[in-house]
Amino acid sequence: MGKLRGMFAVYAAEPNPDKPLDSLRVGERPEPVVPDGWVPVTVKAASLNMHDLWTLRGVGIKPDQFPMILGCDGAGVLAGGPDAGAEVVLHSVVGDASVYGDETLDPKRTLLTEKHQGTFADTVIVPARNVLPKPAGLSFSEAACMGTAWLTAYRMLFTRSGLRPGQTMLVQGASGGVSTALVALGEAAGMRVWVTGRSAEKRALAERLGAHGTFESGARLPERVDAVFETVGKATWPHTMRSVKPGGTIVVSGSTSGPDPSADLQRLFFMQLRVVGSMMGTRDELAALLEFCHLKGIRPQIGTELPMGDAPEGFEQMLAGETAGKIVFTR
Ligand SMILES: NC(=O)c1ccc[n+]([C@@H]2O[C@H](COP(=O)([O-])OP(=O)(O)OC[C@H]3O[C@@H](n4cnc5c(N)ncnc54)[C@H](OP(=O)(O)O)[C@@H]3O)[C@@H](O)[C@H]2O)c1
């Protein structure tokens, strides 16, 4: 077999639990070979997710999978097949929907960058069902935000929380990708949206996105809420447990500050709370998210947009907690 041609890529060279950015490389990786049933996509934009920092640390990926091209969402142009030239949004969950109905429940499901190479490159390959038409109203950069952070927020809110319009939701964290998506989606769906943020600037951002009330991290709320949306974990969990109504719901999709919060089991059963996990979303949910954003005129909040070659700058911002919405890389 001949030598594979190289292409531009931002990748993790090896796992580095303590200094994740030391493993980050901007360079070349082999161009992908396209298996039957898969399609090549020329990447136009992709967004940074905390997942990429976990990958650099070696969390959620086997050591023999390195080097791994980073990036678990994106938007671009089909580079082959009968629809070549079509503008598409990528769905990152590779799983068997025909067996499980919901591919996120397939025990063998993977996200891009766990087993298959990611989107921070000239070209990415995905199964043909993992591309959706890009809505004309969204730019490539905006569409690139949808596949991970926004999809996760959509499923947390509309599939997993059980909230109804008019009820009150609390989002822990103001400026992150998932947090900003939850605020915009919750406001558009008719929820009363409250947000905690670690600085006045971050809380002001949440208010601009439609939050009805913002609070310092850990602050006592005027009243308990119907549901709390958690991605922060250890740092906010005690506040989350105190802030939810009897019979209320906590939806968890991340644990940025640490994975081992005190469960506070006595409060859990005494207050009859529901703690619900949530993981990415299905292709159908991504299609519905794109339609919901179209109907409501919602565009994702992008805090930083950089050429993909400057990706390390974006990674440094995320590691330092300096987010103001999504961080997007363009090609
Ligand atoms: N399960 C899934 O399918 C899924 C999908 C996407 C993301 N996630 C997880 O969700 C988490 C967030 O991801 P992201 O991409 O949105 O990250 P991000 O853009 O970097 O946002 C981080 C968020 O966490 C908050 N935060 C961080 N440390 C905090 C602390 N010590 N105290 C209070 N708030 C803190 C920040 O709040 P401030 O605004 O106040 O700084 C910010 O809103 C990650 O753990 C990620 O792995 C899971």
pLDDT at 1 over 60: no
Mutate to test the pocket of ligand 1, among 159, 195, 231, 253 (most ligand atoms within 8 A of CB): 231
Mean pLDDT value of segment 218-240: 97
Mean pLDDT value of segment 118-133: 98
Contacting residues for 326 by C-beta, under 8 A, at least 6 apart: 47, 48, 145, 149, 177, 180, 300, 301, 302, 303, 304
3-state SS, residue 94: strand
Q: List pLDDT tens digits, range 273-310.
A: 999 999 999 999 999 999 999 999 999 999 999 999 99
* CB 328 less than 6 A from any atom of ligand 1: no
User: 161 C-alpha to center of ligand 1: Å?
Assistant: 18
User: 12 C-alpha to center of ligand 1: Å?
Assistant: 21
Mean pLDDT value of segment 148-153: 98
* CB 231 less than 6 A from any atom of ligand 1: yes
Contact 258, 238 (CB under 8 A): no
* CB 202 less than 6 A from any atom of ligand 1: yes
Residue in 303, 315, 328 with CA at minimum distance from that of residue 205? 303
User: 178 C-alpha to center of ligand 1: Å?
Assistant: 7
What is the sign of the dihedral through the CA atoms of 86, 90, 95 and 101?
negative
pLDDT at 2 over 60: no
User: 126 C-alpha to center of ligand 1: Å?
Assistant: 26
Amino acid 81: pLDDT: 86
pLDDT at 154 over 60: yes
Amino acid 184: pLDDT: 98
* CB 173 less than 6 A from any atom of ligand 1: yes
Q: Is 9 left (phi over 0), alpha (psi -120 to 50) or beta?
A: beta
**CA 326 to ligand 1: nearest atom:** 19
pLDDT band with cut points at 50, 70 and 90 for residue 37: very high
Q: Provide the token pair at 277.
A: 């996990």
Residue in 76, 83, 89, 206 with CA at minimum distance from that of residue 146? 89
Q: How many CB atoms within 10 Å of residue 3?
A: 6
Contact 148, 72 (CB under 8 A): yes
- Provide the whole-model pTM: 0.97
Mean pLDDT value of segment 64-77: 98
Q: Is 185 left (phi over 0), alpha (psi -120 to 50) or beta?
A: alpha
Amino acid 261: pLDDT: 74
pLDDT at 3 over 70: no
Look over the chain and give the mean of its residue pLDDT values, rounded to a whole number.
96
Output the residue whose Cα is nearest ligand 1's atom 10: 254
pLDDT band with cut points at 50, 70 and 90 for residue 4: confident
Q: What's 231's DSSP letter?
A: S
